[in-house]
Structure 1
Amino acid sequence: MQLHPLLVPVADLLFPPRCPLCGEGLAAQTGLCASCWGDLAIPGPPCCSACQRPLGDSAEQGAICAPCLAEPPRHDGIAAGTLYNDASRKLILAFKHGRRIALAPLLARLMLNQVPEEVGEGWLVAPVPLHRWRLWRRGFNQAALLAGEIARARGAGLVVDGLHRRKATRTLGGLGKKARAKTLSGAIAVNTKHASRWKGAKVLLVDDVLTSGATTGACVAALKRAGAKKVVVACFARVLDGLQTKTPGT
C-alpha cells in the first residue's frame, strides 16, 4: 500500500529513509543505496532457454543447461529477480524473519524486471503455500505478499489460497534429491474450491527463494495435474551451484 503523495514528507520526517541493507541515508524510500544495488547479482543472458539458469559467455542462443537436459523441468520457465548472494540473503532475512514486510514492493519490483512481458491480464498468480502452523507462527506468507504486488502491477488474477500444504514438512536443507521428494510427497495440493480455475490456466507461481526447486516442483506438479496449461516460476533470489547456499528457512 502506497502513501498519499502529501503524506510522504511527513513519513520521511518521522522515519528518515535509509538503505535496508547498510543503513545509509537515502533521498527517498525507494530502495537501496547505490553501493548496495551494486552488490546484488542480477541474472541475464546468456541463459538456459528452459530454466533461465545463467550460462557461460560462449553459450549459443537456445542452449539448455545440463540439469534441464538430465531432467526436463515440468515448469515453463524461471524468472529470478536476483541470484542468491550475501546482499539478497540479507534482504530475505529482513523481509521474512525480521518481519520487514514493507520490503515487499522493492523485492517484487526486482522480480517484475525478469517476469516475462506476457504475464498479465488473463494470467493467475499464486504463491507457494505455507503450512497453517508456520503461517500462524510467522503471521504472514512472504510469497503471498510478493504475489500480491506482482498481480497488481501486471493486472493478473491473484489466488492467494490456490495451493495448500496438507502436512507440515521439515526444512529441506541438507537433504538429497530422493529425501526431498519423499518429504514433499503428498504435502502440496490445489485447493478444491479453486479447482475449476486451473483448467487451461496460465499461472505465475511465486516464492521468495528458489533453492533445489523441490517445493516449487511439487507445486508445479499439482497445478499441472489440475489442468494448468502453463506454469512459470518467479522468485526473488535463486540459489545456484557455486554461489552461497546457506539459505534462510522457509
Structure 2
Amino acid sequence: MLESASGRSGPWRRAAAAVALAGAAGRRVGAHLRRLLYPPACVACGELTEGEFALCGPCWREAGFLMGALVCDACGAPLPGQADAEAVAPHCDDCLRHPRPWDRGRAVLPYRGTGRALVLALKHGDRTDLARPMGAWMAAAARSLLGEDRADGAEAVLVPVPLHWTRLALRRHNQAQLLAAAAGRRLGLPVLPDALIRCRRTASLGTLGREGRAAALAGAIAPHPRWGRALAGRPVILVDDVMTTGATLAEAACAARAAGAGTVHVLVLARAMREG
C-alpha cells in the first residue's frame, strides 16, 4: 500500500502543478482583459495613466507633493528654501507662536487644487478606493518620523483620529482610519483604530478660527477606557486627512499622552495654509 501511494505521488504532484499553472495563466488573462475594459486612469481627473492608482503628469505636478521639500518639522507646512539634512529642524512662524502638543509632523500635499479634490472625494464622495494610493504617499512621508522611534526598540503604532459614532453612521467610514490602514500596510506597523474615542459630537468647525476650534474640541477626544492602554510607552503616529489649525490633532495628541504614549507624531494627507 505504501508503494502504491508513493507511486501515485508523482502524477498527483504534476496534476496539482498543472492546475496551479492554469490558474496563474487565467489570472494573467483576467488582469489583461480588465485593463482593456477598464484602463488605468488618474485618480484625480480620470485621464489615462500607465499604472493603476496613479496621478497623470499634470495632476502630479499641480499637486505639489511635500516629500523632499523643506517643511516645518512640527506641522509639515512648506517653508522657503531647500531641505538640508544637516540643518536644525525648522519650524514655521505659526508653530513658533503656538507650540504643538506633539513632537513632529508631516503632510503629503498642500490642501489646494489636486490635494483638496482628493480629500473631498475620499471624505464625502465615497471614493474609498483612493485610500490605497493616499496611504502609500503617507507611508513615504512617515518614514522620516520613524528612525528615532525604531532605534528605541518600541514599535510605533498608527492611530487614526476618531469620529463620533453619529458621524460615522452617516458617513459610513472614517477617512482617517482608511488612510491609517493603508499606510500601516505599507510600513508594516500596527493600526489601533479604537485607542482613542470621540466622547461627544462637535459642531462643524469650518467657520471657526483657532480659538473657536480649540474651545469646541476641548475634552472631545479621550483614550478608550480599555483599548487606550495599548498606547502606554509606545511611539504613536496620529493620522488624519487634513490639518487646518491643528486643534483636532492637538486634542488627540493630549489624549494619547494621557494614555501614556511615548513620542507623539502627526501624519496628515493635506495641510491647509494661510493665503498671502
| TM-score category, normalised to shorter length | 0.7 to 0.9
List runs of 5+ in structure 1 lacking aligned partners.
244-250
List runs of 5+ in structure 2 lacking aligned partners.
1-25
Q: How does 1:1-250 map to 2 (within 5 A)?
A: 6=28, 7-43=30-66, 44-57=68-81, 61-62=87-88, 63-117=90-144, 118=146, 122-242=155-275
Amino acid at match of 1:17: P
Amino acid at match of 1:200: G
- Distance across 1 between alignment mates of 2:197 and 2:270: 22
The alpha-carbon deviation at position 64 of structure 1 amounts to 2.7
- Distance across 2 between alignment mates of 1:220 and 1:203: 9
SS at match of 1:209: strand
Q: What TM-score, normalized to structure 1? A: 0.88
Rg (Cα) greater in structure: 2
- Distance across 1 between alignment mates of 2:176 and 2:247: 16
Paired residue for 1:246?
none
Paired residue for 2:16?
none
* Number of matched pairs: 240
- Distance across 2 between alignment mates of 1:48 and 1:236: 15
Q: 1:8 to 1:93 in 2, by over 3 A?
A: farther
Paired residue for 2:9?
none
Amino acid at match of 2:190: G
- Distance across 2 between alignment mates of 1:40 and 1:67: 23
Identity value in percent: 36
- Distance across 1 between alignment mates of 2:32 and 2:174: 30
- Distance across 1 between alignment mates of 2:108 and 2:82: 23
Q: 1:130 to 1:11 in 2, by over 3 A?
A: farther
The alpha-carbon deviation at position 153 of structure 1 amounts to 1.3
What stretches of structure 1 move > 4 A for 4+ residues in a row? Answer: none
Is the Cα–Cα contact under 8 Å of residues 41 and 85 in structure 1 kept in the other structure? Answer: no
Amino acid at match of 2:161: V
SS at match of 1:192: coil
Q: What TM-score, normalized to structure 2? A: 0.80
Is the Cα–Cα contact under 8 Å of residues 161 and 249 in structure 2 kept in the other structure? Answer: yes
SS at match of 1:157: coil
RMSD of aligned C-alpha atoms?
A: 2.2
